[in-house]
Amino acid sequence: MRIVNRIIALSRSIQLNRQFREIEKSIAELPASGRAQLAAIAMREFATAAKCEFPHLYGTVDQNQRYQPWGSGTELGYSRVKSDNAQVKLRGIALWLTVAYYETKDSKFGEAQNLHRQLMRTLRILKETMPPVEANQWFVSQAGQAA
């Protein structure tokens, strides 16, 4: 059974890493104002997901999947990244980053832990593009959730 779990985790990690590479390209192509806007949207997405009972299932249409290891949030966000509409694209990136963060956060598999570290770097870069007032609000809300 452990080998099956390992294979499933590895295949999921490969899928998320492939999607993450395209997400990173999309972020790199954004102008500075777009990155600041993305950071603000991502901040709201993280705040909303943190309030959910199962944050790794945030964005999942069918809430009956609560015992699944992952939901459809990353696929939904990833499909929105391919949109021609800039706002839809930004919301898709923010959704994908949020769900992937929570999905990989407490993983015991090395591939998912590496992806989580890469996500943390990307989120740090996005936070640095935010105006200081909004960044302080985000840090205060994160500290309140951790307590």
Asked whether 18 and 117 are in contact (CB, 8 A), the reply is no
What mean pLDDT, rounded, does the chain reach? 79
Q: Which residue type occupies 54?
A: F
Contacts of 87 (CB under 8 A, 6+ apart): none
Q: Which residue has the higher pLDDT, 38 or 58?
A: 38
% of residues, the chain, pLDDT over 70: 76
What single DSSP character describes residue 30?
S
- For residue 75, the SS3 value is helix
pTM score, whole prediction:
0.78
Q: Which of 74, 67, 140 is nearest to 112 (CA)?
A: 74
- Average pLDDT of the segment spanning 1-9: 78
The burial of 98, by beta-carbon neighbours within 10 Å (0-12 exposed, 13-18 middle, 19 or more buried), is given as buried
Whether residue 14 is predicted with pLDDT greater than 80 in this model: the reply is: yes
**Structure tokens of 69?**
């290891």
